[in-house]
Amino acid sequence: MAKRIAVWDVFKGCNIIGSKDSTIKDGIYNDVQGFLDAHDSIAHVFLNGGKAQAHYQKMGVVKNGRSFPATKLPSSSPLHTIPFERKLREWSALR
């Protein structure tokens, strides 16, 4: 915890073909709400791509009765073909 960053997937498990998010079926969500409730010091969530954002929004994660702040970052998947420099710049928000 020296850097104060936690990495955790939206899904506990799912059926997926290769790395294609569009093939996700039978997804079982991790208890993101419970994780955030148990760790009061977490102030923000960063999401790895659009699918993670969509599923996070479906979960309805809240803190103090309001939506928990979250920022969508470009997917780290090599299938998401934007220039590396752009991915690096946007992911640098974690600093």
pLDDT in tens, 17-44: 887 778 889 989 999 999 999 988 888 8
> Residue ranges per domain, the chain?
11-94
pLDDT at 51: 87
Report pTM: 0.80
pLDDT in tens, 39-84: 888 888 999 888 889 989 988 999 878 888 899 999 888 777 789 9
pLDDT, average across residues 80-92 = 89
HEC per residue, the chain: CCCCCCCCCCEEEEECCCCCHHHCEEEEECCHHHHHHHCCCCCCEEEECHHHHHHHHHHCCEECCEECCEEEECCCCCCCCCCHHHHHHHHHHHC
